[in-house]
């Protein structure tokens, strides 16, 4: 049954306390993710989707409920749950290879020799097509390339669960489409379980098996969950005219802009 209930989020609530004022960000979140599934969290900004991702990452501890991964409680951050941060978060004093190597070293240094670690680093950079940039520093490469290094760093750890926090949000549309296609093929190869935060409807429909739509905060919760009945591999061009794709897209848009329309002050 573990394949059915791999990541379990059980009635999780999250409240922040700032200068004595209590702010309830999330309430009663219940969600299970199957092994190998690609789930997107979508919602308006401020709805707590990044908070939920940080809870799964273990960077935050919930104020109510539990999170389980493979039936073990998530008690803190760990390398089996790799995170690709919104702003790539590369360390500027390490080269691209150095950034990936830091992660590789942490996960595999106890079992493998130096040559194997270096090979893993090279393989991860090759996976995202950045072999030529391996010895460059983050400041010397473009935003899209930095984000790819961030993805390579996460994938190199061979995580059980890959967490993506608006991974392509800061990129231009063309680079974003390119990286989405790359992510699709990488995930297809590695069979990773992925939870991705996004506010891009097309991105969610294109990449996900299920789309979790969140209501507006405060005290946000899961509004609806949409299955995306599209077989893989998915091709961007063919999907653009596929009626099922269009229906999914309309469904998400309707949720975001009719049922959860932002109250304009």
Partner 1 sequence: MSAIPMKRVVVAHPSALRNAAAAQATADAVTPGAAVAAMARGPISRIDEVVAPDALGPGLRRDDGKYRRAEPPQWLVTAIAMACGLAVFVAFWAFVAKFGRIPDPLSVFREAVKIFADPFYRNGPNDQGIGWNVLASLGRVALGFGLAALVGIPLGFLIGRFRFLSDMAAPIIALLKPVSPLAWLPIGLLVFKAANPASIYVIFICSLWPMIVNTAVGVRQIPQDYLNVARVLNLSEWKVFTRILFPAVLPYMLTGVRLSIGVAWLVIVAAEMLTGGVGIGFWVWDEWNNLKVDHILIAIFVIGIVGLALEQSLIFLAKRVTHGVKA
Closest distance to partner 1 from the beta carbon of 152 (Å): 14
Q: What number of helices (H) and strands (E) belong to the chain?
A: 8, 10
101 or 249: whose CB is closer to partner 1?
Answer: 101
Q: Give least dist CB 165 to partner 1, A.
A: 10
Please, where are the H alpha helices in 59-163? Answer: 96-108, 114-127, 143-156
Considering the complex, state which of residue 70 and residue 77 has its C-beta at the smaller distance from partner 1. Answer: 77
Strands 161-165 and 193-198: parallel
**Contact assessment for residue 128 and residue 149, using Cβ atoms and an 8 Å cutoff:** yes
CA distance 92 to 109: 23
Contacts of residue 225, Cβ cutoff 8 Å, sequence gap at least 6: 31, 210, 211, 212, 213
Encode burial over 135-149: b for 16+ CB neighbours within 10 A, e otherwise: eebbeebeebbbbbb
Q: Which residues lie near partner 1 (CB under 8 A)?
A: 57-59, 76-79, 81-83, 85, 87, 89, 91-94, 102-103, 106, 137-139, 157
Q: Nearest approach, Cβ of 214 to partner 1 (angstroms)? A: 22
Compare residues 31 and 162 and give the one whose CB is closer to partner 1: 162
Contacts of 26 (CB under 8 A, 6+ apart): 12, 13, 14, 48, 51, 52, 55, 62, 217, 219, 220, 221
Smaller CB separation from partner 1, 81 or 249: 81
Report in angstroms how near the CB of residue 230 gets to partner 1 at its nearest: 31
- Please say which residue, 85 or 168, places its beta carbon nearer to partner 1: 85
Other beta carbons within 10 angstroms of residue 68's beta carbon come to 15
Q: Which is nearer to partner 1, 138 or 167 (CB)?
A: 138
Least separation, in Å, of the C-beta of 63 and partner 1? Answer: 19
| 36/98 with CB nearer partner 1 | 98
Name the β-bridge partners of 151.
Answer: none
Minimum gap (Å) between residue 81 Cβ and partner 1: 7
- Distance of closest approach, residue 57 Cβ to partner 1, in angstroms: 6
Q: Which residues pair with 220 in a beta bridge?
A: 26
């Amino acid at each position: 049954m573990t394949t059915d209930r791999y990541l379990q989020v059980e009635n999780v609530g999250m409240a922040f306390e700032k200068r004595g004022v209590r702010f309830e960000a999330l309430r009663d979140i219940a969600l299970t993710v199957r092994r190998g599934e690609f789930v997107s969290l979508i919602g308006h900004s401020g709805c707590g989707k990044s908070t939920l991702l940080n809870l799964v990452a273990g960077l935050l501890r919930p104020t109510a409920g539990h999170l389980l991964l493979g039936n073990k409680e998530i008690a803190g951050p760990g390398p089996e749950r790799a995170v690709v941060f919104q702003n790539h978060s590369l360390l500027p004093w390490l080269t691209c290879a150095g950034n990936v190597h830091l992660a590789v070293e942490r996960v595999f240094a106890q079992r493998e020799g130096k040559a194997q670690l270096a090979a893993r680093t090279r393989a991860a950079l090759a996976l995202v097509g950045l072999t030529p940039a391996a010895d460059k520093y983050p400041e010397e490469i473009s935003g899209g390339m930095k984000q790819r290094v961030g993805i390579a760093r996460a994938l190199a750890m061979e995580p059980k669960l890959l967490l993506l926090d608006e991974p392509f949000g800061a990129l231009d549309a063309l680079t974003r489409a390119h990286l989405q296609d790359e992510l699709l093929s990488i995930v297809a190869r590695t069979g990773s379980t992925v939870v991705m935060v996004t506010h891009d409807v097309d991105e969610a429909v294109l990449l996900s098996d299920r789309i979790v739509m969140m209501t507006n905060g405060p005290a946000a919760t899961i509004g609806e969950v949409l299955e995306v009945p599209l077989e893989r591999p998915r091709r961007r061009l063919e999907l653009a005219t596929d009626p099922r794709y269009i229906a999914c897209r309309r469904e998400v848009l309707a949720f975001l802009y009719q049922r959860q329309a932002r109250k304009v002050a």
